[in-house]
Amino acid sequence: MSLFNEPLLVTGGAGFIGSALIAELNRRGYDNIIVSDLLGADEKWKNLRALRYVHYIEADQLLDQLYSELDNVSCVFHLGACSATTETDCSYLIRNNYEFTRKLAEWCILGNRRFVYASSAATYGDGTAGMIDGTSKIQEYRPLNMYGYSKHMFDLYAHKRGYLNTIVGVKYFNVYGPNEQHKGAMRSVVHKAYEQIKETGRVKLFKSERSDYKDGCQMRDFFYVKDAVDATLHLAQSPGANGLYNLGSGTASTWLDLVSPIFAELGLDACIDFIDLPAELRGKYQYYTCADVTRLLESGWAGVKYPLDSAVRDYVKNYLKTTSYLGDENIQTQ
């Protein structure tokens, strides 16, 4: 029996995680979906072509239509944001990532709508205060960039207002997978590495500037988009699951662990060049992230279906190596 009352609204619906989420909703039989995004001049519109939905609204028009055309929406997945960690226009980030989210959340709360929004693991900063979801340590986190802080600002606001008792904030860790090709410099290392390896037979990774991490052994919690979507939908359909949740694999892996399956899937020996960390990332680079997914598992989520090696191989074999793959197919799940 469905736990959703339609229609559903997905912001950022042409983006990476948003389009993957709509594809999975379609697979589960949901078509009454309203999509919102800012298509601009890039290629992410291609992510919409295989999706089934009833209406599209440009994001800069969305707030004006909340109290008219969208009054019957029952659930909102707010995945739209400026996600560039190198963005330096603080006012732009405030408007897009804080103010927009605040207004949309308050509309949902007022109308008793389910609201699931993307926070970020970037809110945790360098990890010295831990990476614990919920709100027990929320005042201790110090994001390393303005993107992370803009997300943290809304988390703090929602906490102080008591909104986290009824809404869900998801802190995605390093998500990768199909439909990210439009993201340019913000694409995952899997996507970038695949292109480098196909072109040159080699891949470039950042050197470590810390003695406690060897080159290529900086660690991340890499999370396949298919698992990320499954966890997001689980929380949306769990009435008792509210507040902030880490969405990750719960395992920290090295960059070497990440690129090795790419070489293996291509039948090549690993050839890696280590390059200097760019100046703009020095002092802002995370050397270790790992999601504590205790609360997520306690909410009833079944856990990761795609461990790192099999996930990377699935991405390479069934998407990146497929000459017909243009980023606009429905993402196939098991």
Residues with a known catalytic role: 147, 183
Q: Is 28 exposed, middle or buried (0-12, 13-18, 19+ CB in 10 A)?
A: exposed
Structure token digits, residue 49: 């072509």
Per the structure block, which two tokens stand in for 115? Answer: 């609201």
Joined tokens for residue 45: 């519109």
CA distance 5 to 32: 10
Q: Residue 169 in 3-state DSSP? A: strand
Using omega within 30 degrees of 0 as the cis cutoff, is the peptide bond preceding 178 cis? no
In order, the DSSP letters of 73-103 are --EEEE--S---TT---HHHHIIIIIIHHHH
Classify residue 178 as left (phi > 0), alpha (psi -120 to 50) or beta. beta
The beta-strand segments (E) located in the chain are 8-11, 33-37, 55-58, 75-78, 114-118, 168-172, 174-176, 203-206, 219-220, 222-224, 243-247, 253-254, 272-275
Distinct helix (H) and strand (E) counts, the chain? 10, 13
Comparing CA positions, the residue from 46, 4, 37, 2 lying closest to residue 18 is 37
CB atoms within 10 A of CB 318: 14
Q: How far is CA 303 from CA 63, 228, 231, 257, in A?
A: 35, 10, 8, 20
Find the length of the chain.
Answer: 334
